[in-house]
Structure 1
Amino acid sequence: MCPKVRSRRRGLRITLWLLVALLFTAAGLVGVVLWQNSYDVTERRVSIRHGGHTLNGVLATPRDGRGQHGLIVYVHGDGPIGATHDGGYRPMWEANAKAGYASLSWDKPGVAGAPGDWLSQSMDDRADEAAAAIAWARARPDVDPARIGLWGASQAGWVLPKVAARTPVSFVIAVSPAVNWLRQGRYNLLAELRADGASAARVEAETARSETTRRLLERRAPFEEYARATGGDVRGMTARRWGFISRNYTADATRDLPVLRGVPVLLVLAGHDVNVDTADTERVYRGVLETGGALTVEHYPDGNHSLVKQSIGESELTTALVALFRPRSLFADGFLADQRRFLAEPGRGGTTPP
């Protein structure tokens, strides 16, 4: 056999083995992703009637063989969020299931084909929505009506106490909750400018723009006037978003928080939160709720606003990779375990962590 033929065959064998190795590697990676993103809960799509339309929900129940479980009702933060929050809720749902709790969440109106428009809602509308979901859950034979609590993040800080005013809840888990819309907005603006290393001139200009926006909101100015006031530089603001802000910019949880006195509340605060002033939030929550003895405050120095580890969350690529291959390790150390421990405390009927 001539050397050229032998060389060609050897090259083909090497290529074949490389392809086989790549296929095995790819199959292994797919297997790891499927395994890591398989959770010890049973998810089912549910429909909840409210206000003449349907909430498209997901009910995630433990696989422990029990006929009845406690329930945690999820209240989203800002933005077009679906029932699973792009899968980000699932590690929490699994932790809840280990504590003997089911989890209920739904697509915001207008998200994933759900009817309605979340940008047309007020915080009271969102509270009515959650109260309707709780009423629906209480009628189910697989839910213990005496063990229904709330979980909410960020903007949900304005919704959670409103829900508790409408229907009894057993506990509340408030994650990076906002207190006052205008104070939060100012804090977020200055925190982001500091993170960008903005000059003093830019800080002054952005602060002046923020004040102009506030005055327009106070006058209930239409979007067109906002656009003129900013010289057409609306920075992604739309008429629908302006309407949402106009309806909700006076939100202040301080007025509603007293309804939670005596209700077990777990306040979760992150060390790298540029969205919410955690010091202000803790001060308000302690001032209103601490005298009742039912407030627990947990700090996570390595977490960002979403309680994702700061070292992961600062890179979109790293976040995506960890979400694929190790989703349970996305969150700040102790975050999931502490919530499970909170659910297992006496009176809440959860399963004690090992």
Structure 2
Amino acid sequence: MVLAVTALAPPASAADGDVTFQNGGVTLHGTVVAPPGGTKLPGLVMVHGSGAHSREDYRDQAEAFARQGIATLIYDKRTEGYSQFERSYATLADDALAAVEALRKRPEVDPARVGVWGLSEGGWVAPLAASKSSDVAFVVTLGANGVQPAQQQAWAIENQLRRLDMDGSLVRMASSTMIRQLVGGGVFPEAHYDPVPVLKSLRQPVLGLWGAKDVLTPPGEAVRIFQDSVAHHTLRVFPDAQHQLRRTTDGFDKLPGYAPGYLELVGTWVHDVPATSSADQPPAQDRQSVEVTPLHWSESTWLQLAVLVFLLLAFGWGLVRGGARPARWLAATGLLAVLGFLVVDVLIQTTMGKGLGPVILGRPLPWLALQLLSLGAVAATIGTAAAWWRARTLRLGVLLAGGVAFVPWAIYWGLLTP
């Protein structure tokens, strides 16, 4: 891929200079933050974490690095080809390489000492960029993962739900079944990206930094994987820091300021990269992350959608047509359970469980209500089977089929498990 670069000259009396650069037909805009009057400065390109980001999200750190004599390029993250359902780490890595090329062309920068800095998702992207070009002199990562994105996301979701005192089937559903379905349905881009081969291929020195209280990235696993995979590494763990190396009490809150020593460590390391590798002790984790396995054919997304549509039609038709009491009960409880599950599933994905209300016995009230409705539907299925055996009508047969299909569906999604 050809990376075209156009760099605008910095204002004569300012420490900041605007730059534009291109990758794949997309023009990206950034700012170089550097100490005024500097020459032969090391350079650092800051690569974004996941989601939408502008250069301003990293300006405070860029200014701190500039005060230590580092020319730092921050840029607005691409929006074209990047969303919740579409992204390519290879494209993001090429964006970072275009930024590296732009920074290397700056008159105040030493082109032989320009590296990349990556936070979170950038911890996958920055090493990938370095693996593709010897123009990258070094790599700095914050909260980087040694595991695949789907595995990391499953671990993070379980942390969020357990923080709300949730346990049992809801947690298993959200952190395993739901993630596997999203991956199987193709709506989780780069879910199985494996960072280890890239880390093993790096010839540049790597400074890897983690907060010991990170609840989004499994930090203990990451430190061990980086230590085993990266040939030339300096790995440091900050005890009272969260994912972004902000100060924290529990990993979830974000106190003012960064972990003491973080900004200074980056500055000293970039100016004088150690000749030998060293690593802090990996921080303890309450539990290990678990690989997200592919769906079995019986779990396929299309089959799940087909069963869902059938349940809605069967229970909806049974509710409209009326009939014997067990049949009406099955139609009502089954339909409420299915529709309620869809609502809860959306709330988990959009609020990480915060919108589910009070928790009783490890279950938020809506989930507890869904489990009770599901038990009622099972009991009503038995009653409907007896009614169908006596009457043998089509309406009862369709409704009974819905009740029978509901049982394995509800077990799969955790509605009939503890």
- The two structures have a TM-score, normalised by structure 1, of 0.67
Distance in 2 separating the partners of 1:313 and 1:182: 20
- Aligned partner of 2:67: which letter? K
Distance in 2 separating the partners of 1:311 and 1:216: 32
Q: CA deviation at 1:74?
A: 0.7
Deviations 1:132-158 (A, max 9, x none): 121222233222110001100101122
Q: Which residue of 2 aligns with 1:203?
A: 171
Q: Which residue of 2 aligns with 1:66?
A: 38
Q: Which residue of 1 aligns with 2:30?
A: 57
Q: Which residue of 1 aligns with 2:339?
A: none
Q: Do 1:99 and 1:344's aligned partners in 2 also have CA atoms closer than 8 Å? A: no
Q: CA deviation at 1:219?
A: 5.2
Alpha-carbon spacing, 1:314–1:193, altered in 2? closer, same or farther (3 Å)? closer
Deviations 1:154-186 (A, max 9, x none): 011221221112212211111001231122112
Correspondence for 2:150 among 170, 173, 182: 182
Q: Which residue of 2 aligns with 1:282?
A: 223
Q: Which residue of 2 aligns with 1:80?
A: 52
Q: CA deviation at 1:309?
A: 0.5
Q: Are residue 99 (structure 1) and residue 68 (structure 2) matched? A: yes
Correspondence for 2:243 among 275, 298, 305: 305
1:30-45 matches, cutoff 5 A: 42-45=15-18
Q: Which has the higher contact order (CA 8 A, sep 6+)?
A: 1
- Aligned partner of 1:80: which letter? A
3-state secondary structure, aligned to 2:145:
coil
CA-based RMSD of the aligned residues comes to: 2.3
Q: Do 1:58 and 1:84's aligned partners in 2 also have CA atoms closer than 8 Å? A: no
Alpha-carbon spacing, 1:132–1:256, altered in 2? closer, same or farther (3 Å)? same
3-state secondary structure, aligned to 1:129:
helix
Deviations 1:255-291 (A, max 9, x none): 2112224x221110102111000011111101112xx
Deviations 1:303-345 (A, max 9, x none): 11111100498557xx5xx4xxxxxxx1011111211221232
Correspondence for 1:338 among 265, 272, 275: 265
Alpha-carbon spacing, 1:299–1:128, altered in 2? closer, same or farther (3 Å)? same
Distance in 2 separating the partners of 1:165 and 1:277: 23
- Aligned partner of 1:341: which letter? T
3-state secondary structure, aligned to 1:272:
coil
Q: Are residue 172 (structure 1) and residue 113 (structure 2) matched? A: no
- Aligned partner of 1:197: which letter? D
Q: Do 1:161 and 1:259's aligned partners in 2 also have CA atoms closer than 8 Å? A: no
3-state secondary structure, aligned to 1:80:
coil
Q: Do 1:149 and 1:170's aligned partners in 2 also have CA atoms closer than 8 Å? A: yes
State the identity %. Answer: 29
Alpha-carbon spacing, 1:118–1:345, altered in 2? closer, same or farther (3 Å)? same
Correspondence for 1:121 among 44, 64, 87: 87
3-state secondary structure, aligned to 2:20:
strand
Q: Do 2:215 and 2:251's aligned partners in 1 also have CA atoms closer than 8 Å? A: no
Q: Which residue of 2 aligns with 1:218?
A: 184
Distance in 2 separating the partners of 1:47 and 1:163: 19
Distance in 1 separating the partners of 2:274 and 2:178: 50
Alpha-carbon spacing, 1:216–1:121, altered in 2? closer, same or farther (3 Å)? closer
Deviations 1:169-223 (A, max 9, x none): 211111001231122112112211221111324323324xx32441452353xxx
Q: Do 1:44 and 1:60's aligned partners in 2 also have CA atoms closer than 8 Å? A: yes
Distance in 1 separating the partners of 2:62 and 2:250: 21
- The two structures have a TM-score, normalised by structure 2, of 0.57
Alpha-carbon spacing, 1:200–1:216, altered in 2? closer, same or farther (3 Å)? closer
Distance in 2 separating the partners of 1:171 and 1:178: 18
Q: Which residue of 2 aligns with 1:256?
A: 198
- Aligned partner of 2:197: which letter? R
Distance in 2 separating the partners of 1:47 and 1:197: 48
- Aligned partner of 1:71: which letter? G
- Aligned partner of 2:78: which letter? P
Distance in 2 separating the partners of 1:71 and 1:266: 15
Q: Do 1:164 and 1:259's aligned partners in 2 also have CA atoms closer than 8 Å? A: no
Distance in 1 separating the partners of 2:166 and 2:49: 28
Distance in 2 separating the partners of 1:313 and 1:191: 10
- Aligned partner of 2:42: which letter? G
Alpha-carbon spacing, 1:121–1:201, altered in 2? closer, same or farther (3 Å)? closer
Q: Do 1:275 and 1:305's aligned partners in 2 also have CA atoms closer than 8 Å? A: yes
Alpha-carbon spacing, 1:218–1:314, altered in 2? closer, same or farther (3 Å)? closer
Any stretches of 5+ residues in structure 2 without a counterpart? 1-13, 276-418
Distance in 2 separating the partners of 1:43 and 1:312: 36
Deviations 1:52-74 (A, max 9, x none): 221011111112x2233211011
Q: Which residue of 1 aligns with 2:302?
A: none
Structure with bigger gyration radius: 2
